[in-house]
Structure 1
Amino acid sequence: HDIERDVFSFLEDYPDMGFYFAKFPDQTFDISINNLDYSLFGKCWSGYFLTDEKGCVVLFQNKEKHFSDSDFIYTNNSLPYFLKSYSLFMSGIFLLKANREIFLEMSSEVSSSLVEKISLFDKPAAEETNFWGIISYLIDDCGIKINIPVSKYIESDRFQPNS
């Protein structure tokens, strides 16, 4: 097995949004849903990332977080394309963090850039009803977490209200 070609070793967790991934190929789980076989390799706040028998990546949605009526949302054509899309997403997150003073103004630009770049190599993935299109909408709508929420400060007794 070629370590440099192991996509899992490049996927960084992003706990603020509930993104967690297998770090090694032997950490994936084979599962069957509706008599179809999948390999589970990660999760986020809204569901589980699976590869199907053709190698396509889909999100199997949590029941509480449905983006659509379907249990599955198309994510990418392949695991390498998922890595590329996720990396573009994370670069957008860090761009927003670097420009936090103008977060509201930057979010639309980052959102548009994400879907434009993804559509260059996996056009269906960037459509608004698919995973990265939904993520783009969340970025544009400022629904993406880029820092520790105030509730965490309060829970840790670090929050000091202004006097």
Structure 2
Amino acid sequence: MLSFTKEDIEALHQASITAKLHPPQPQLMSLDEVLQNKFALLNDYPQMGFYFIRFPDELVSMQLQGEHFQCFGKCCYGYFVLNNKGNVYLLSTNDDYTDTPAVWVNHSLEEFIKSYSLLLAGIFQLKGSDTSTQEKLFAVLDKVAQQVTEAICEVHPKLLEEGSLWEQFIYMIEDGWFSTAYHEIFYIKEGRKSL
């Protein structure tokens, strides 16, 4: 679930992003509202820092360079937000991917959900594959990267233009950088790693 740690607050500050961080006021939802809740379709993937809200009342107001956004999630590169037209952007807090403060990601939340789900489908396929040798691992990485590329391209070809976030994630799969298990840092933070 999306939450904001001290590190998150510092990253937002360093990226000149202002956010109204306050506990949400839970609102009762009708059956129709429950069935229409698109945020409930997003699953966290902690291995790569993907965390999302569950309910519309958990949206976080953010502002960058005079533009207003509603944050619904985050990943290792920054925060997923909706602009006033409903487009999805990444407000970048990590220059490993880009030094652009706001990067267009998808035309809509629905398109984002499709793209993200296709990405995770590829990751779970990778987790279930035989990677017992280096040769098998590289073959599976190439196969999964190709499948995710084709699937996201079917959603919309523009999503894979050079420099896009989805292209970056596919590149990470291809090169074996997309984590399929908890990184060593998780073990260190939780005091489970011996010296």
User: Of the candidates 117, 121, 125, which is equivalent to residue 95 of structure 1?
Assistant: 125
Structure 1 position 117 matched with structure 2 position 117: no
Structure 1 runs not aligned, ≥5 long: none
TM-score, normalised with respect to structure 2: 0.74
Distance 1:119 1:100, change over 3 A: same
Provide the rounded CA distance (Å) in 2 between the counterparts of 1:152 and 1:59: 25
Provide the rounded CA distance (Å) in 2 between the counterparts of 1:46 and 1:104: 25
Letter of the structure 2 residue corresponding to residue 75 of structure 1: V
8 A contact 1:96–1:107 mirrored in 2: yes
The residue number in structure 2 matching 1:61 is 92
* Cα deviations by residue, 1:115-148 (Å, 9 ceiling, x for unpaired): 2211222221122311101101111011100013
8 A contact 1:20–1:44 mirrored in 2: yes
TM-score, normalised with respect to structure 1: 0.87
1:34 Cα offset (Å)? 1.4
**CA root-mean-square deviation:** 1.9
What count of residue pairs does the alignment treat as equivalent? Answer: 158
Structure 1 position 127 matched with structure 2 position 125: no
Provide the rounded CA distance (Å) in 2 between the counterparts of 1:151 and 1:28: 29
1:158 Cα offset (Å)? 6.6
Structure 1 position 32 matched with structure 2 position 68: no
8 A contact 1:61–1:71 mirrored in 2: yes
8 A contact 1:29–1:40 mirrored in 2: yes
Distance 1:151 1:72, change over 3 A: closer
* Cα deviations by residue, 1:87-123 (Å, 9 ceiling, x for unpaired): 1011111100001423321111211221221122222
8 A contact 2:52–2:74 mirrored in 1: yes
Distance 1:152 1:56, change over 3 A: closer
Bigger drift between 78-87 and 121-130 goes to: 121-130
1:67 Cα offset (Å)? 1.9
Provide the rounded CA distance (Å) in 2 between the counterparts of 1:60 and 1:74: 9
Structure 1 position 141 matched with structure 2 position 183: no
Provide the rounded CA distance (Å) in 1 between the counterparts of 2:163 and 2:155: 17
Q: What percent of counterpart residues are identical?
A: 32
8 A contact 2:115–2:155 mirrored in 1: no
Distance 1:89 1:55, change over 3 A: same
Provide the rounded CA distance (Å) in 1 between the counterparts of 2:178 and 2:143: 14
Provide the rounded CA distance (Å) in 1 between the counterparts of 2:182 and 2:33: 37
* Cα deviations by residue, 1:54-102 (Å, 9 ceiling, x for unpaired): 111111111x434223112221110001001111011111100001423
Structure 2 runs not aligned, ≥5 long: 1-31
SS in 2 for 1:70: coil
